[in-house]
Amino acid sequence: MIETPPRALAERGEGGAVPIAEAIGVSKRYGATVALSDARLRVVAGESHALVGRNGAGKSTLVGILTGLREPDSGEVRFHGRPAPAMADREGWRRRVACVYQHSTIIPDLTVAENLFINRQPLKRGFINWNTLWRDARDVLDRWNVSVSERSRAGDLKVEARQLVEIARALSYGARFIILDEPTAQLDGEEIKRLFAQMRRLQAQAVTFLFISHHLQEVYEVCQTVTVLRDAKHILTAPAATLPKGALIEAMTGEQVSFGFADAANRKPPTESAVALEVNGLGGEDFEDVNFSVRAGEIIGLCGATSSGRLGVAEAVAGLGSYTAGSIRIKGAPLPANDVPSALALGVGCVPKSRHRQGLVLTQSIADNVTMPIANALGPIGFIAPSRRASAATDAIDTLGVVTQGPDQLVSDLSGGNQQKVVMGRALASRPSVLVLIDPTAGVDVKSKEALLRAVENTRREGRAILVASGELEDLRVCDRVLVMRHGKVVAEHEAGWSDNELVAAVEGI
């Protein structure tokens, strides 16, 4: 964990310094829903301050209020001890605070320079002065150590680079308080390290961060202070160094949470059951000569960096991706490449990487989403028996603990954790013999993670074969074996009971 910068220590003073940003007694309602209730947040200049809580705890609402996108019903926001600008004063807000969201706001078809100075390009005789734009953009990128070309098309940048461009854009307005909303959700291990190194460099230049993440280990690694929201209320603010992880989880959930039930080291792997999934000599765009098998009642993990090939292999097994060499067999039957209907027919269920793009139809209800893979089984073509549809959806809601008003609620109205539970319910609805899980708990709170991993363990006990492709150590803890991929090949295999250091070292090639 990084030390509190001397500047931040000095500004705190004996009585506590004037914070760079502060929310005081903030409340917000949407109809009957209480989004925030007398919440508070105090961020000291020059530190990284974590804001954590379960999905639906009020984090997004508070960020909206801190950035001037939502007006509180009561309470106030202050910057440097002074009242926040009027809601209509967008330039005033930009000079004080910016948020880099999980889903980039960069315009992909514009250059980096155009994105940096969008709507404020230097003009000459009414036209954009391109030479000045290139020069000013280069100055901004150099000042904040962003190593990309100002003339690059923004859409061609990696996620990591796009985030740094967004940070540089915010800093160029004069803001020194940056909110990072789930910044590591789409990054691999090395990219996360570089992001954290950049945060440390910027902290040394008096930039302050509010860091929002479901990855609690990252909170301890990069933040000095933690604030917890639960049920729309402020629960605690404490130095990260003095707050044990168990106490942090209990503050977030209101109860103790343990993942011991899903640790494969506590069980004997199946050795006599039939092989349900066979992958032989599999090759594709970013992987080659991949071989493994999964027995009924067994969980096999695939881990590695984003570029390791684990995603390509998992998507090929799920029918979502192509392969050009080797074979995939489900209970002995060959699975064609890039053929989701064939995968479903052979008994493959999948939780894809992106719940928004691949896993859900956000404009439809929970019931419609859950029953989509089994519609033909619920009634004649063109007609689904309402009672059977409702029953299937209710089973998924009850089994996974989806917090909802009922089966007919739109998926778009659910929190991220509950949306992911619906994706899992949809994958399990067909009672697959092979279940493929790709980053199944990414971006969800600790209680939702517990519910999802419990569903995985229950599915294993029912005798299903499960393939987990993930970069999350807690996801991989459920696996009987973990295969480590690097540069498209399987380079190591670890039996259940591995240590974090052991697996991370294998992933990084140490």
Buried b (16+ CB within 10 A) or exposed e, 128-143: eeeeebbebbbebbee
Band (496; pLDDT cuts 50, 70, 90): very high
- Whether residue 206 is found in the same domain as residue 222: yes
133, pLDDT greater than 60: yes
- Whether residue 20 is found in the same domain as residue 90: yes
Structure-token match 């960096």, residue found? 305
- Whether residue 180 is found in the same domain as residue 93: yes
- Whether residue 302 is found in the same domain as residue 446: yes
Domain assignment of residue 80, yes or no? yes
> In which element (H, E) is residue 506 found?
helix 500-508
Among 86-95, 403-412, 440-449, the range scoring the smallest mean pLDDT is 440-449
Domain assignment of residue 88, yes or no? yes
Domain assignment of residue 166, yes or no? no
- Whether residue 137 is found in the same domain as residue 203: no
- Whether residue 31 is found in the same domain as residue 96: yes
Structure-token match 């509010």, residue found? 210
Domain assignment of residue 378, yes or no? yes
- Give the domain extent around 46: 6-104+175-253
Among 253, 279, 305, the domain-final residue is 253
Number of domains in the chain: 4
Give 332-375 pLDDT, tens digit per residue: 999 999 999 999 999 999 999 888 888 898 899 999 899 887 76
Q: Given its phi and psi angles, is residue 200 left (phi above 0), alpha (psi -120 to 50 degrees) or beta?
A: alpha
- Whether residue 224 is found in the same domain as residue 287: no
- Whether residue 97 is found in the same domain as residue 185: yes
In sequence order, what are the residues at sequence separation of 6 or more whose Cβ sits closer than 8 angstroms to the Cβ of residue 251?
228, 230, 235, 236
Among 398, 430, 462, the domain-final residue is 430
For residue 320, the 8-state DSSP code is S
- Whether residue 269 is found in the same domain as residue 390: no
Domain assignment of residue 170, yes or no? no
- Whether residue 185 is found in the same domain as residue 130: no
Strands 74-79 and 21-30: what pairing? antiparallel
pLDDT of residue 385: 64
Among 173-177, 182-186, 377-381, 406-410, the range scoring the smallest mean pLDDT is 377-381
Among 217, 235, 253, the domain-final residue is 253
Domain assignment of residue 139, yes or no? yes
Domain assignment of residue 352, yes or no? no
- Decide: residue 238, CB within 10 A, 0-12 exposed, 13-18 middle, 19+ buried: middle
- Whether residue 63 is found in the same domain as residue 127: no
Q: Is the pTM of this model over 0.75?
A: no
- Whether residue 324 is found in the same domain as residue 463: yes
**CATH (domain of 32):** 3.40.50.300
Give 384-405 pLDDT, tens digit per residue: 667 777 888 898 899 899 988 8
**In whole numbers, what is the pLDDT of the chain averaged over residues?**
88
Q: Are 235 and 58 in contact (CB under 8 A)?
A: no
503, pLDDT greater than 80: yes
Give 295-324 pLDDT, tens digit per residue: 999 999 999 887 789 999 999 999 999 999
Domain assignment of residue 337, yes or no? yes
